[in-house]
Amino acid sequence: SQQGEEDPQALSIQEGENATMNCSYKTSINNLQWYRQNSGRGLVHLILIRSNEREKHSGRLRVTLDTSKKSSSLLITASRAADTASYFCATEQTGANNLFFGTGTRLTVIP
Amino acid sequence: GAVVSQHPSWVICKSGTSVKIECRSLDFQATTMFWYRQFPKQSLMLMATSNEGSKATYEQGVEKDKFLINHASLTLSTLTVTSAHPEDSSFYICSAPIPWTGADTQYFGPGTRLTVL
């Protein structure tokens, strides 16, 4: 089900710049996850951040979570052309094990 | 609006039986669909890419004979868990790319909760 919202829907930046994508959701959650999808391929898991965490890093990726605002952001630093993909956030709601996905942000990194 | 449906929403079966899960695209055609599974409190894991009119592409470590995928039409893909065992209990979700967006966005099905006793 599509329960979250990402913005922007599309983002185009120059290689080397940072890219920030945001995700908002509506209910209380156990965790929030970010995924990446390359053209024509399935989702690949990037980072999972739990509801009691506020920030998490993985390589060039930085994810923040603000449960009071029900929002999360994904920052990709020093972007590369290979980062061009769609990025989705997904939330696991409290009391459920189902994942609810946003509609995705299409990132284009121009070499 | 266009959505992806899954049936059933949840199923409980005995060990050794087979379970079929359907994924349908509504109001649009999907030559490709993706199947995922998710264990509780964990992330989604891509199992396979379902291709209309040809064989599915399985991810490494996913047993083809265990998880049979049939993309019978442009709006229907099925996942059959054969000879299910308790370790197959999981949440299965499918997705389909939205064809008219010009970008790689997808619609996700609501998922199917499988419990094998």
- Tokens (6 digits) for B15: 């060990």
B83 three-state secondary structure? coil
Which residue is it, tokens 């399985």?
B58
- Shortest distance between the Cα of A60 and any Cα of chain B, in A, equals 20
- Give the sign of the dihedral formed by CA B62, CA B66, CA B67, CA B69: positive
Q: Which of B36, B40, B107 sits opposite A97 (nearest CB)?
A: B40
Model pLDDT, residue A2: 47
The reply to whether A90 touches chain B by the CB within 8 Å rule is yes
Contact A98 B91 (CB under 8 A): yes
Model pLDDT, residue A97: 56
B88 three-state secondary structure? helix
Partners of residue B103 in chain A, C-beta under 8 Å: 10, 86, 104, 106
B31 three-state secondary structure? coil
Contact A106 B108 (CB under 8 A): no
Residues with Cβ within 8 Å of A46's Cβ and at least 6 positions away in sequence, in order, are A33, A34, A35, A36, A58, A61, A74, A87
Which residue is it, tokens 């049979």?
B68
| pLDDT tens over chain B, length 117 residues | 558 899 998 999 999 999 999 999 998 888 899 999 987 767 788 899 999 988 999 999 999 999 999 998 999 999 999 999 999 999 999 988 877 655 456 788 888 999 999
Model pLDDT, residue B104: 54
Distance CA A31, CA A37 (A): 20
Model pLDDT, residue A9: 83
Nearest to A42 by CA among B96, B55, B43: B96
Contact B105 A41 (CB under 8 A): no
pLDDT tens digits, one per residue of A41-60: 778 889 999 999 999 999 99
Residues B27 and B36: beta-carbon distance below 8 Å:
no
Question: Taking CA atoms, what residue in B is nearest to A51?
Answer: B41
pLDDT-derived band at A1 (thresholds 50, 70, 90) equals very low
Contact A98 B110 (CB under 8 A): yes
Distance CA B16, CA B73 (A): 28
